[in-house]
Amino acid sequence: MEISVYKIDGQDSGKKVILDDTVFGIEPNNHAIYLDVKQYLANQRQGTHKTKERWEIAHSTKKIVRQKGSGGARHGSLKSGIFVGGGRIFGPQPRDYRFKLNKKLKQLARRSALTYKAQEQAITILEPFNMEAPKTKDFLAICRNLKVEGKKILMVLPDNNNNIYLSSRNVERAKVITVNELTTYDIVNAQTLILLEGVEVLIKEQLGTTQSA
């Protein structure tokens, strides 16, 4: 797929880049996307949730009523989960939600997500630029020139650029990352991708050219 390269003022630079079909034009695998996004979200969970079980409750262990003859159910103590203030039955305990996915599956998921963005014409190639100082106003002006203001924006840089990152930090629904930080979740979550020229080549090198089944 051939796509135009734009300047930060929104004008067409006259240059073209080709998005490789092995990355931006495959047969998308929805299940791979689902698994990769599920893993990403699971990895964000702290897993520190905790409720007290019966043995952790600070109550007297005195038997409430006699075992037989009361006409009601048998009760051992107020620590029972059926009483207010008692232990939680089968409540959540600290755990690790992370799980493993194969590298090739994760690559397939990212290629599938990028293919969907290419099909939706939601990818913009931008000429490399720099900012002399962090300025939110300048970043917003670039978004306005590219007609993506107000959308969920994911800007992908070839390497770290602190001024661009700081300029975008206060912009709602905008995220700036490097190509090494690119995830399937970020791609799917964004409405439009802004790739600095050359990033598409780095993505191809990262994801390889061999399609996984």
pLDDT in tens, 9-60: 999 999 999 999 999 999 999 999 999 999 999 999 999 999 999 999 998 8
Residue 187 and residue 105 in one domain = yes
Element (DSSP H or E) covering residue 116: helix 103-119
In a domain, 213, yes or no: no
The residue type at 6: Y
- Residue-range definition of the domain harbouring residue 78: 51-96
The answer to whether 86 touches 79, Cβ cutoff 8 Å, is yes
Which two structure tokens, joined as six digits, stand for 140? 């917003």
Residue 176 and residue 153 in one domain = yes
Per-residue pLDDT reduced to its tens digit, 97-154: 999 999 999 999 999 999 999 999 999 999 999 999 999 999 999 999 999 988 999 9
Residue 35 and residue 85 in one domain = no
Instruction: Name the CA dihedral angle for 188, 29, 5, 124, rounded to a multiple of 10 degrees.
Output: -20
Q: How many CB atoms lie within 10 A of CB 107?
A: 20
In a domain, 212, yes or no: no
Residue 171 and residue 87 in one domain = no
**pTM of the entire predicted model:** 0.83
How many independent structural domains does the chain possess?
2
The residue type at 80: S
Residue 104 and residue 91 in one domain = no
Residue 169 and residue 76 in one domain = no
The answer to whether 186 touches 40, Cβ cutoff 8 Å, is no
Per-residue pLDDT reduced to its tens digit, 179-211: 999 999 999 999 999 999 999 999 999 987 544
The answer to whether 176 touches 157, Cβ cutoff 8 Å, is yes
Residue 33 and residue 130 in one domain = yes
